[in-house]
Chains A and B, each alone.
Chain A
Amino acid sequence: DAGVTQSPTHLIKTRGQQVTLRCSPISGHKSVSWYQQVLGQGPQFIFQYYEKEERGRGNFPDRFSARQFPNYSSELNVNALLLGDSALYLCASSLDAGVSNQPQHFGDGTRLSIL
C-alpha cells in the first residue's frame, strides 16, 4: 500500500507569492495534519483536519490555511510568503482524530525555498 504522498517535492518561490502544497493520506486514513520543519529544528504543528473539519491549529499566522477534501486528501496554502517560511513541510495521516491512540505516519515532505 502507498504511504503518505506529498507534492511537489521541491518548490522555489519569491517573497510575497502564494503557494499550495498537496497531501494524500494512506488509504483508509481520515485524519491529516501539517507540520513545518525549519532546518535544525523539530517539526512544528500547523493544522489537523478530520472528516473535512479543522480539529487543531498551531501558533501560525492567518497567512497559513488548509482544507481537506471528501477523499481525505488535503491542501496547505500559504499567502504573502516570507523568507522565514522556507522549510520542509510535512504531512501526516492517521486513522482517526486521535481517540484510538493510532500512530501518525509522515510523508517525505515538500521542500519550500523562498528567495
Chain B
Amino acid sequence: KQEVTQIPAALSVPEGENLVLNCSFTDSAIYNLQWFRQDPGKGLTSLLLIQSSQREQTSGRLNASLDKSSGRSTLYIAASQPGDSATYLCAPRGSGYALNFGKGTSLLVTP
C-alpha cells in the first residue's frame, strides 16, 4: 500500500520568500505524480503533473521535481505571494488509477 508523507505539515513565510515543499512515497513503481492546491472548503486545483520518465516540470513560479528511485518529489515556489496561501497536496499514481494523497502542507504567506 502506497504511503505518502508531506513535510512540513505547516509553513508560514513572509511574502517574497522562495520555499520548498517535500513529498515522499514508499512505492517507487509510479506512473506519474500530481501536485494540487486546495483552498479552505474547496476542491483540488491541479498544479503540475510529472510523468515517471520526467525529472522536472515547470509552470510559472512553480517547479516540481521527481526522484522516483528514492521516492521523493519537491514543489518549489518562487517569490511567494499571499495568494499562494493554501494546502498543497502531492499524489503519486501507481499501476491502478487511484491517486494516493498525503495529508498536505498548509502554507501561509504573510504580507
Interface size class of B (residues with CB under 8 A): 20 to 34
Contacts of B76 in A (CB 8 A): none
Contacts of A90 in B (CB 8 A): 43-44
Q: Are B41 and A111 in contact (CB under 8 A)?
A: yes
- Which A56-84 residues have C-beta < 8 A from chain B? 56, 58
Interface size on A, residues (CB 8 A): 29
New A-B pairs, 10, CB < 8 Å, besides A42-B104, A98-B93: A4-B43, A33-B98, A40-B103, A42-B4, A42-B102, A43-B99, A56-B96, A103-B49, A104-B99, A111-B41
How distant is the Cα of A61 from the Cα of B25 in the complex, in angstroms? 26
**Docked-complex contact B97 and A97, CB < 8 angstroms:** yes
Residue of B nearest to A47 (CB): B98
CA distance A88 to B51 in the complex (A): 28
Q: Which residues of A contact B97 (CB under 8 A)?
A: 31, 33, 48, 55-56, 97-98
Of B42, B46, B89, B103, which contacts A104 at CB under 8 A?
B46
